[in-house]
Structure 1
């Protein structure tokens, strides 16, 4: 059996195969291998979904994380109906989902009538939103990040809703102080994106309280995939000899496979009203250190500018107590990303812009 096909499985009589550290690959041969591995469920997800009645809809399923999230749900709970909803401007993502037994529905979440016609399942994971390239259409940014959630929350008044939020709702803070906790109010930061996401959280909280519908607002860190994310960006800067800015000198990151498993598990741990939860790795990661790790692997001396300052430092202890720590460590991610970058495998060309401090992405 090849490394690629090792992870190509759906179910057996004994149930779905699950992720173990023993089956981590040394590297990923191609995109298919990467996505197969990244969409493997953990045993904890299989167990938690067994306690969550009803089917599951993923809204915003065609994004960078949505496709693998829908797949991990289907693999963890093959008996459930998994519905992926998006505008599906990219036919490839829709085909990938349908290939793995996931229903797809094309829908504009700003269309109240269309949303009202979606199947009213008992569980919703909300992944839709806008962050980048909104200059000149700030009204659309606010519509996607506040109006669409209001339409969805009203239409799915009887459903559990786990909504993806962001650590950008938090202020900059000193990473040496352990990171901000969920008790820190989501104060608006510079830039309309952060402000609009505070609005998104408050909308889901309001409708959760209004309808008595359980929810969670997941204040998520930066996702790590071989094709995008903080580590991919730093690796490419080192390879290309670009100067690496250190003003945002520490980052919170998490392997995307770990992240989607934890998002899905939160369907079992929703609250009324919808409450925030910081989801990410157990440590703040030094930009300087990982650049030097990439440099050692590539045989290149990294070039730096600036000095470390305040960061979006978050404390994820509450999530760790509830869900446990991620399976994939920072060192493992660095090695995987290094091989992917050095071998010239494809990237998505969608930088996280973690180094941007103005709030405009």
Structure 2
């Protein structure tokens, strides 16, 4: 999935990576044939947004929906991103969702993806996190109450669990640690209210963690190994998933959106050992691995079996992602200065 043309030998440039991330699978194209109307992506200037927008445009074209528009809504401080999206046929719609009280000027749409979020800095500015993650969703839900809305959430809403459990599945009651995670549960509850009050069709996607090679848990661990920095073992296990797959699941979840909100964990099928991943990077990067800390008995882990049953398995395994990430780092290709802080255990980001 995402797509059948994913390369096996890695990537020599950002353009090659982006092409793989935005090539739609047959399954995505078929699901897009089941929908109609314009698509609005809110918060499309973030890490996932640009590739998701281009993937959506390519999928709609392949599904025979050339006349349906894809709008990418964001503040868009990066002119290069705006230009890239425009060239791909995405309509760039600069708009500050928090600063503007009146959202009536946003494009109408039958399908909406809400991917606005505030994570880093939430510990020092909690009110900002609550505004973006919980208050803004109420205004969006009212503006688009007649649409189907796919809501990006996070596995952080779950409690830490033992790796022996296989991860928290969707039946595990949320128990968020820290104000970032609490505000993300607030986001979910606001859209749940819209679904039950107004009949809005909602899907909630609890993601952790997407791998793009330019950022993500593997980029963080791989860079630490490459530079001789210590890798913490306190959080001993993690989930990762290819971002191409993640993008597809977000779009395909619109088919499942329902007034009884559809909830799915979006994560890879494997629970990875941080120590093994670090040692694999050591071999691939020919670097000595420095480890520190005592592994704890729990971590933020998601059981993604429901996702796999509904959407199929990612075509890219975690082992392949590690190899690609090592090659990316060896070749000096761009890495975002946005660490995931995957090892944080107190909920303070």
1:1-361 to structure 2, matched below 5 A, reads 19-20=3-4, 23-78=6-61, 79=66, 80-111=68-99, 113-189=101-177, 191-309=178-296, 310-361=298-349
- The Cα shift of 1:113 comes to 4.7
Kept in 2: contact 1:145–1:200 (CA 8 A): yes
- The Cα shift of 1:202 comes to 0.2
Identify unmatched segments of 5+ residues in structure 1: 1-17
User: 1:174-203: CA deviations, max 9, x gaps?
Assistant: 0111111111111231x2101100100000
Kept in 1: contact 2:123–2:179 (CA 8 A): no
Higher mean C-alpha deviation, range 164-173 or range 305-314? 305-314
Higher mean C-alpha deviation, range 297-306 or range 95-104? 297-306
Distance 2:7 2:59 in 1: 18
Distance 1:187 1:136 in 2: 21
Kept in 2: contact 1:207–1:213 (CA 8 A): yes
Distance 1:346 1:212 in 2: 44
User: 1:119-160: CA deviations, max 9, x gaps?
Assistant: 211000111010002454321211100111100000001000
The residue that corresponds to 1:13 in the other structure is none
- The Cα shift of 1:244 comes to 1.0
Kindly tell me the number of residue pairs found equivalent between the two proteins.
343
SS at structure 2 position matched to 1:77: helix
Kept in 2: contact 1:110–1:147 (CA 8 A): no
Kept in 2: contact 1:218–1:278 (CA 8 A): yes
SS at structure 1 position matched to 2:16: helix
User: 1:22-42: CA deviations, max 9, x gaps?
Assistant: x51412111111112111111
User: 1:222-254: CA deviations, max 9, x gaps?
Assistant: 111111111111111111111111011100110
Kept in 2: contact 1:19–1:40 (CA 8 A): yes
Distance 1:330 1:264 in 2: 22
- The Cα shift of 1:46 comes to 0.3
User: 1:281-314: CA deviations, max 9, x gaps?
Assistant: 1111111111111111122231211232211111
User: 1:304-339: CA deviations, max 9, x gaps?
Assistant: 112322111111111111111111111111111001
SS at structure 1 position matched to 2:82: helix
- The Cα shift of 1:355 comes to 0.7
Identify unmatched segments of 5+ residues in structure 2: none
Kept in 2: contact 1:107–1:115 (CA 8 A): no
User: 1:27-71: CA deviations, max 9, x gaps?
Assistant: 211111111211111111000010012111100000000000000
Kept in 1: contact 2:123–2:180 (CA 8 A): no
> Which TM-score applies when normalising by structure 2?
0.95
Distance 2:148 2:327 in 1: 40
- The Cα shift of 1:89 comes to 1.9
Kept in 2: contact 1:154–1:207 (CA 8 A): yes
